[in-house]
Structure 1
Amino acid sequence: MRADMEKAGLHTLSGRPSPHSRVLLVAGRPGSGRTALAEAFARQAADTFGDGILRARLTEPGGTPVPTERTARDLLAALGPDPVPAGADEDELTGTLRTELGRRKVLLLLDDVTLPEQVLDLLPDTRDCLVVAVAAGPLTGVPDVRPCTVGGLDRDAAVSLLASRAGAPHRTTVDPRSAELVAAACGYLPAALVLAGGWLAARPKLSVADAAKQLGELPQADPLERAFRLVADSLPRTPARVLRMLALAPEGLVDAHTASSLSGCPVAAARQILEEFLRLGLLRTSALAPGCYAVPRCLDPLLRAELAEHEGPDETVFARARMLERTVRQLRACHAVTEPEGSEARKRLAFLPRTVRFATRREAREWLEARRPAILAAARLAVAEGGGRLDGLARRLISALARAFDAHRSPEEAAPELYRLHELVLDVAERAALQRERAAALLNLGDLDARTGRHSRALQRYRAALEAARDGDGNEGGGRERTGRESGSGRDARTQDHPAAARALESIGSTYEDMGDLERAADWYGRALVHHQTREALAAAARIHGRLGAVHTAAGRFGEAVREWRAAAANFRRLGDAGAHARALAELARVHERAGRPQETVRVCRQALQVAQEADDVRLRAALLLRLADACDRTGDVRTGRKHRRAADELLDSHNLTVHVE
């Protein structure tokens, strides 16, 4: 592989150098050591690629190809520190990834490749990068690929590996013939030899000949399956059940809590069993999540076959439900540790088992980041469960994970993952006809789309949310028929989700405002205002009056702007919110100022100053004094303007503040 990396490609030799990166292919059957070889090469070649190594696994446990969109997003996140745009489609993500890789010198290791298109979609458009792909066979159609086929170890290396895992080297040296028979029965595959060596290490009183005999008696034709059966059939009842339940571990990542919840055994017992599995070669230490183990991907089909043979569908669902329930509790503890002492979340945290709690915020964040891929996979699997039997737990898990992200990540950092979670919630809500949850998911997705400038998609989300909110959950709970007087829109008013509808109306107006379409923005804000006024929501109506005032001001419709800001100020006065009342009056003064009415500006500024004094808002008082000073200057009262400006400076100096007045 080192030699192939240095050789010129066929395109270069033909005088037409390819614009893409070179591809080194490690081809071999599962268990042949193909991934270990690729990793060893990557470590040796790391010095050649100054921007490091990027890794991605392109097949999920169970054999399903990973969507290219998810792979590209994860690779972009690994490149950091710029956040990945939430909700970007596959073409945008792969294009951005190729652009970013084009500026770097990176070794890209793609494991478990099943289709050539998976490599082609991610292939960097530069000769400075190198792609190492691990697959079962050739990648037809990938340009400039150099294959390295792995068929297993030679006889001496296989015996040496067996001896290193068997616990004592003399066990193979005293009986080299039996050691060679064991290696042959394992097909010289490293994964099978590790299992056979672990079985011998756990039985110091048995000889290598005993292992060779038992392997020879097993009917399996596949060497890896034969070695797996040797180990699995020797396990007691509880460890055997824990082993087959590992097929349900999301992303193949497992710790004592996961194993305990899946199998139903105590956490302490699960911890001891996992440590024994590590010695037997059934697990590996996870390099990404401290304290966790990784299920070797080559054993995944065997574990799934074992699960299907011994566990029924209902028990499989119950096991997943137990695991999800424990994960929800851990996520709640992860969020609660960030709450202030004495808060309700902290009080509930005290009642959780000690094994679920976190001592510090840092410990909780590290746990969340390490388990994040597995928890996201658990959410996807729960949503995909046939018949929607885990929908309730899936919704709780997604809610708890979203709150944990909010607590431990910045909004920009959390946005891409939250987008995925809201899409999962939307899938569940649409499948179960839960209109309220559908509306909430669409609103959240619309917010993320609007934040990243995808206004057309945001409007589609908001309009769909409005329809779902107006439809309500009248059919929820076994398909109950609607009763009662129908509203003018043909829907039962009692089943409508009025807060979601109001939020959708306001969000549509806000999106049009961001797009610069002030006419439509004013129209939709007006609809939201009517919605709030109909329900006597005074605070919400006051806020919408303000948004309408801002839109009319930006459009130069100063008469309408004055009317809206006056209405906002009046509503805030009735609510007793002196701060909001003063700010509304300040905006009203600004409208008069822009309209060229200095006398009105002076009058409203004085009124706003009195209210700001009650609200004890020093910064607003100073801004109003400066605006009042400018208005006095325009009326010709320069002396009074100078006095107000001096008063503003003294107020700011006394509180060590600064303000900017438009």
Structure 2
Amino acid sequence: MVDGDPLPPFGPLLRRSRLAAGLTQTELAAASGLSVRAISDMERGRTGRPQRRSVELLAGALAGGGGAAARGLVEAARAAGLTPEPGVPGDGAPACELPPDIPDFTAREHAVRRLAAALAAVGRRAAGTAPSGHGLTLIGGHPGAGKTALAVHAAHLSRSRFPDGQFFVELAPAGRPVHRPDDVVRRLLQSLGAAPDAGGGSLEEASARLRAVLARKRVLIVLDDAVSEGQIRCARPAVGESAVIATCRRRLSALAGAECIEVPVFGPEESLAFLARMLGEERIRAERADAARVARWCGHLPLALRIVGCRLLARPHWTMRTLVDEVLHDPRTRLRELRSGDLTVGAAMAAAFGVLDEQTRAALRRLAAERTPGFSPRSAAVTLGCSVARAHRIVGDLIDGHLVEVLEGPRPGDPYCVIPPVVHLFATGAAEPAGTGPVQRVV
């Protein structure tokens, strides 16, 4: 082709470039991460306006056969009136779909260091200088403990390690059904510019395509609020330098080789530091005793503390004493008061209850109604009128759901469990927590 000559249409140019590189459609599909059908449709002109990211992937795969062919492909696409697709990077810029970082992120230094180390190790594993693994880190903890905030904060800190993009998938979006594994794979393939095959295909085939794309890239994926291993397993890289951080509504123990980080509630001083970041250190110093009581009533739960801070910022005439004396003083109404805008502790608790079966939900409500500070599986069996074996299963489900705190019991193998304050409020105040939307959607 002579400089200045008009470029042929995109489809014929793609075919010519592929043949010049000595590639079959199948080989180009494997090199680009696109499907054979997508490449065939583009070459035949069935795809009127290919996505910009698809063109970039094709150009990158063809670059080894000569830079001119790759540049010509991009120029032909521009001549065809190619415009950026929503969420797809243009001009080679990596996509970042992460939510904004939390400006008042507080504490969690140890967890942040562990996450940073796990993400840094991905590149060393690919180079053979670190133990083998699969770039997967799971974050668990009580509902409202700040699992998503930690994942997003750590992802932002490590963006430079993943220059091919950082992607975020909400696995259990409010008001919508929980995403199935095939939904997750389709969403990620689209974000990566490798649109799923229009003709469908099995989950295994789609997951294999996703793994092939991830193997050639350095991508960070954050999967938020997983309820099953399948939602994570389908997106897990097999080799290469991509990584996944997944926050989990319940303990997911069947994902071998994953790094697991448990996020506890704040300690008393961390709670005050968090409120100080939101409201100002001078105010917390002046109202320290009342602030400490509010934090204790919130169970030192980050979500509850954030709601308290938001309500105080929205009502400058309120003081901590107002919360203590007039707003949060009654345990029977405290949970209803822990809401601000679309932030609500009750919804987080309902979602956590939703992963339990009805018998386990009823058991937790019965155990919460007892006036004892805690229980073991043996004492729970007495309270529930069931066998010790059945009580062990119930307690295990509550532990996996992050709805009880586990302390060391007096007998080996017989853990002592305590229901956290806010979970206790929900369990005793919501006679039918499964009757609301969030729980029904999960179940």
Q: TM-score, normalised by structure 2?
A: 0.47
Higher strand share: 2
1 or 2 for the larger relative contact order (CA 8 Å, sep ≥6)? 2
Q: TM-score, normalised by structure 1?
A: 0.32
Higher helix share: 1
